[in-house]
Copies of this chain bind each other. A is one copy, B any other.
C-alpha cells in the first residue's frame, strides 16, 4: 500500500488500475489489484477491494478471489466497503455506508442503497434498485429491473447454523425480472418471487409468489393481480 497524490490521504495497494477521470474523496483505501473504471467517483472514507475475514464457522466459500472491478462511471459513496471478488457493471451506485461482498456481480446501473448490505455470491441484474438499509443475503439471484424498498430483509438458512444437511439447502430468494418488494418485507430462504410480482410492505414471504400477482400479509397470500399500468412495459 502506498500513498497517492490522486486524492487526499489516498492509499493504493499493489497493482491497482485507475481509469481516466476518476475522482477520489478523502481517506480512500484501495486494496491490491482493484480495477477502477473510467469516470468513477470514489467518495470519502471508501474502502475498495477488501479481502474477507471469515469466521471459522462462516459458510462463505474460501479460496482465491479475482480482483474487484468497478465499471465505468460508477459511484461508491461515503464510507462504503466493496470487497475483492465483486464485479460491478457500468454506472452503478453504492450508497453511503453500504457493503458489497465477495463474488457478487452487479449489472449495469444497479443502485445499492445507503447502509444496505449485499452478502457474498449474490447476483443482481441491470437497472435493479435496492433502497436504504436493506439486507440482501448470500446466494440470492436478483434479475433485472427489480425494485427492493427500504429495510427489506432476506434469509438463506432455515436451520440457523445446525445440521450438516443445511449446507446443501442454503440459498436466498430468487427475484425475477421487474418484481417489487415492499418496505420491511421479509423473504424466507429459497422462495421465488415471480416476474413483475408485488410484495406488499411488511409481508413475510414463506412460499413462491406467482408472476404479476400482489401478495400481502404474514404469511403472504395472493390478494389480486398487479395493475397493467404498473407493469414495466407501460412505464
Which A residues are closer than 8 A to B by beta carbons?
1, 3, 8-9, 11, 25-27, 29, 41, 43-45, 47, 50, 53, 55-57, 75, 77-79, 81, 93, 96-97, 99, 109, 111, 114-115, 117, 119, 129, 132-133, 135, 137, 147, 149-151, 153-155, 157, 159-163, 180, 182-184, 186, 188, 198, 201-202, 204, 217-218, 229-232, 235
Known contacts A8-B1, A230-B159; is A135 also within 8 Å of B135 by CB? no
Q: Which residues of B contact A117 (CB under 8 A)?
A: 114-115, 132-133
Whether the Cβ atoms of B135 and A119 lie closer than 8 Å is no
Whether the Cβ atoms of B218 and A161 lie closer than 8 Å is no
A25 and B1 CA atoms in complex are apart in Å by: 10
Q: Which residues of B contact A8 (CB under 8 A)?
A: 1, 3, 11
State how many angstroms separate the Cβ of A78 from the closest Cβ of chain B.
5
6 contacts between A and B (CB under 8 A): A9-B27, A96-B99, A97-B99, A117-B132, A150-B154, A186-B201
Known contacts A151-B153, A182-B160; is A77 also within 8 Å of B53 by CB? yes
Identical chains bound together, number: 3
A81 and B96 CA atoms in complex are apart in Å by: 8
Whether the Cβ atoms of B235 and A162 lie closer than 8 Å is yes
Q: Which residues of B contact A202 (CB under 8 A)?
A: 186, 204, 218
Whether the Cβ atoms of B198 and A160 lie closer than 8 Å is yes
Among the listed B26, B29, B183, B229, which residue makes an inter-chain contact with A11, where contact means beta carbons less than 8 Å apart?
B26
Whether the Cβ atoms of B45 and A45 lie closer than 8 Å is yes
Among the listed B79, B129, B204, which residue makes an inter-chain contact with A201, where contact means beta carbons less than 8 Å apart?
B204
Whether the Cβ atoms of B155 and A183 lie closer than 8 Å is yes
Whether the Cβ atoms of B55 and A50 lie closer than 8 Å is no
Known: A45-B47, A115-B117. 13 other contacts (CB 8 A): A8-B11, A9-B27, A27-B45, A43-B53, A53-B75, A81-B96, A97-B97, A97-B99, A117-B132, A133-B133, A149-B157, A154-B183, A162-B235
